[in-house]
């Protein structure tokens, strides 16, 4: 492991995908609160920008992350960026094998894996032109263990966890770091169906930005992520079987 550190938030120019709400919005707010010089907020449709996002003063950028033209246009427009936060994600909430719609898993892979890959490819030259910078991939506990009730989502996030390590190895010679965030249950629209305690999005953003500045490869951003990794290390078979039993659960809960 190298000692290369990531970009400092103070004075940074960030692009955050999926910035309209939840963790994406939290990254916008937290970065600006920590002294970022500029934040570009990537949205599929700028006309849908929430009042909360508009209040931050972030610069809205049209960016459907699965659209190659949008990604290329964003890279051509945001030429001063030195931090990219790949936050946009999709969870289809369906089984992987016994699915009701075979297209869901493909959509999860397109949004959660191929889109971050395209963003990294497009923005690596932009970051290199700034003398270096950082890429942050917002992942999930589902990336570190097969999560049966999130089959396609888990698979796509695991792929992006591997992507982070590979991208970092390729880009470190250009002074570009890549940090993968392992996130537990957060109080967002995506986790609305989960009962129990949840972290606030700003908590995740703050932990992620600190990890980026330190140059960490991966970061468990919250208590659930830390405890999940510990249980997985202690008894991986029991942990994965427990996740499998949740396929038949009447409701999902962070309580244990």
pTM: 0.91
Q: Give residue-wise pLDDT tens across range 150-190.
A: 999 999 999 999 999 999 999 999 999 999 999 998 766 55
Q: Any idea which fold 13-253 has?
A: Rossmann fold (3.40.50)
Q: Give residue-wise pLDDT tens across range 10-48.
A: 999 999 999 999 999 999 999 999 999 999 999 999 999
Comparing 197-201, 203-207, 224-228, 237-241, the range with the smallest average pLDDT is 197-201
List active site positions. 153, 157
Summarize the confidence of residues 224-245 as an average pLDDT: 91
Q: Give residue-wise pLDDT tens across range 68-107.
A: 999 999 999 999 999 999 999 999 999 999 999 999 999 9
Separation between Cα atoms, residue 39 and residue 5, nearest integer Å: 21
More confident residue, 149 or 135: 135
Concatenated DSSP letters of 181-248: EE---BSSGGGTTEES--B-HHHHHHHHHHHHHHT-SEEE-SHHHHHHHHHHHH-HHHHHHHHHHGGG
Residue 134: beta bridge partners? 83, 177
């Amino acid at each position: 492991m190298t000692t290369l550190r990531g970009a400092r938030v103070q004075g940074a120019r960030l692009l955050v995908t999926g910035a309209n709400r939840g963790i994406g919005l939290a990254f916008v707010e937290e970065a600006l609160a920590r002294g970022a010089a500029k934040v570009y907020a990537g949205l599929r449709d700028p006309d849908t920008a929430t009042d909360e996002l508009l209040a931050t003063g972030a610069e809205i950028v049209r960016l459907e992350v699965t659209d190659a033209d949008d990604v290329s246009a964003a890279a051509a427009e945001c030429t001063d960026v030195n931090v990219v936060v790949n936050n946009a994600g999709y969870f289809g909430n369906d089984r992987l094998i016994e699915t009701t719609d075979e297209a869901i898993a493909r959509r999860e892979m397109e949004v959660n894996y191929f889109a971050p890959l395209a963003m990294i490819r497009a923005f690596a030259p932009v970051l290199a032109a700034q003398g270096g910078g950082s890429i942050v991939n917002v992942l999930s506990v589902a990336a570190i263990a097969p999560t049966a009730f999130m089959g396609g989502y888990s698979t796509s996030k695991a792929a992006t966890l591997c992507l982070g390590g590979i991208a970092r190895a390729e880009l470190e010679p250009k002074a570009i770091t890549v940090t993968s965030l392992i996130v537990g249950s957060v109080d967002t629209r995506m986790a609305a169906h989960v009962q129990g305690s949840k972290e606030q999005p700003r908590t995740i953003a703050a932990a992620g930005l600190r990890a980026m500045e330190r140059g960490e490869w991966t970061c468990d951003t919250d208590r659930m992520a830390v405890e999940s990794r510990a249980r997985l290390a202690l008894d991986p078979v029991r942990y994965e079987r427990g996740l499998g039993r949740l396929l038949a659960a009447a409701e999902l809960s962070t309580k244990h």
